[in-house]
Structure 1
């Protein structure tokens, strides 16, 4: 039995851009965007727990392989792929990654199909901030940022940057003020996340639910999994998507 068994392959196109997707489950939608090196067995394990709670989960395939080995070689290959991909903003300040438009379109389509209060969006590491960018669209009701790491935390300004344009940040703040909460998870001494949690706390205040674990590890939901982190995410999706 393969790790991808039960995941239905598909694709989504928006503004001339097409990416593959994998889908499983029933119930309110949740988009889980994998970290480097791609859709690994650990990512699938976490996504399966979201499915088991009663959600339709869609995994966009943006880099790497599906399934992807979880190895240093695979990570370096996917990182090289991501670094030349113009859909991802790696270094520029106060700019939203172009992939956000495609992800918002995917969220709108999923919400239109499934209904309910909206969809959940969860990004990890390189993709962590994409869930915040997706929150600009009202189809996204439950954004989760797991160790957001773009732009690369080189220097104080980039370490604090949210990978959002000024107009998108304004919309995020408006939605937060209207009651849309944002869940963030990280290891407290993870250098890759810079000082973004401080920026989020300052910009959206109590709407930012800040969950930090001691140590210098990185992947809160997968390789360096914290069971409490997984439960906090599942509880967030239950509250926002299943009990509204």
Structure 2
């Protein structure tokens, strides 16, 4: 089906809005599609039309999308003032560890426990070998912490931005990180990660720290700033973010040959290989038309 207008509120009427209670906490989760489950975690300041577009691409690739509402107004176009208000509330929320210095360095956000249970719930509902997940921006690292859940097989980190006050911070505790690395090596799994070279919220220091912690299991893609969309951006991204940032949403250029579109295709191929064809040999993970850097 055609995607809704990205400049207008997305009513998300092709998703089933479910209230899912896990570990005593209830959250709205937008579900659509068929096949193995992929959890799409929204960037700041919420499930925008661009985030919903990406979720539909995942759905159309043959997966059941679970898109939890974690903050903001579902379907809203990201306005500058309203988006800043959402971000400020999230920064002081008990569910998130936005700052390393406020709640201690390298600790996972408490909401990741609920998300791990969502992965288990989705796997039981959808079957298949396991679950995939992508986090973006504020939720960027969550897919890595979710690897503590055995059903998680395909984690993608898109411009992971927490903690905001430590460019090299990883937003996961050292014991959990060691457990994740052990699992990656034991089960021959990988973590895919994406950022723009000039992203001021997800800098080179963070990817270097991930590489040091996870070794070759961390597959980094660094796109040139010239690959970012700069036209018709939502006000929040133009005025607040104000740098190349959102690889598969607002800064993606939906044209053949564009590095951001190649990154999207690589992510979909990663989900397909891990969740739909787990017995096949992994395809090369180098996206055509984009640059990569370790």
TM-score category by the smaller chain? over 0.9
Hey, what does 2:190 align to over in structure 1?
181
Tell me which residue corresponds to 1:118. 130
Question: Which sections of structure 1, spanning at least 5 residues, go unmatched?
Answer: none
Q: Which residue of 2 aligns with 1:239?
A: 273
* Structure 2 residue 206 is matched with structure 1 residue 196: yes
Secondary structure in 1 aligned to 2:61? helix
What does residue 239 of structure 2 align with? none
Aligned match for 1:219, one of 217, 240, 246: 246
Match of 1:103 among 97, 100, 115: 115
How far 1:191 sits from its partner (Å)? 2.1
Counterpart contact for 1:107–1:140, Cα < 8 Å: yes
Equivalent in the alignment of 1:130 = 142
The CA distance in 2 between the partners of 1:83 and 1:24, in whole Å, is 29
* C-alpha distance in structure 2 between counterparts of 1:23 and 1:63, whole Å: 17
Q: Deviations over 1:192-232 (max 9, x none)?
A: 11311111111111111111101250000111012112111
Superposition CA RMSD, Å: 1.3
- C-alpha distance in structure 2 between counterparts of 1:59 and 1:101, whole Å: 16
Equivalence for 2:40: 32
Q: How does 1:144-159 map to 2 (within 5 A)?
A: 144-152=156-164, 154=165, 158-159=166-167
Instruction: Name the CA distance, whole Å, in 2 between partners of 1:131 and 1:29.
Output: 13
Give 1:45 shift. Answer: 0.7
SS of aligned partner of 1:57: strand
Long gaps (5+) in structure 2: 5-9, 226-242, 253-259, 279-294
Indicate whether 1:22 and 2:37 are aligned. Answer: no
CA–CA distance in 1 between the matches of 2:34 and 2:109? 30
Structure 1 residue 90 and structure 2 residue 101: aligned?
no
Give the distance between the partners of 2:173 and 2:90, measured in 1 at CA: 20
Q: Using the alignment, how far apart are the partners of 1:171 and 1:188 within structure 2?
A: 29
Q: Does 2:244 align with 1:210?
A: no
Larger gyration radius, structure 1 or structure 2:
2
Question: How big is the shift at 1:170?
Answer: 1.1
CA separation in 2, counterparts of 1:62 and 1:84? 14
CA deviation vs aligned residue, 1:27-53 (integer Å, no higher than 9, x gap) = 000000000111111111111010001
Task: Give the SS at the match of 1:206.
Answer: helix
Count of aligned residue pairs for this structure pair: 240
1:141 to 143, 149, 153: 153
Matches within 5 A, 1:56-71: 56-71=64-79
Of stretches 100-109 and 224-233 in structure 1, the one that deviates more from structure 2 is 224-233
Q: Which runs of 4+ in 1 moved over 3 A?
A: none
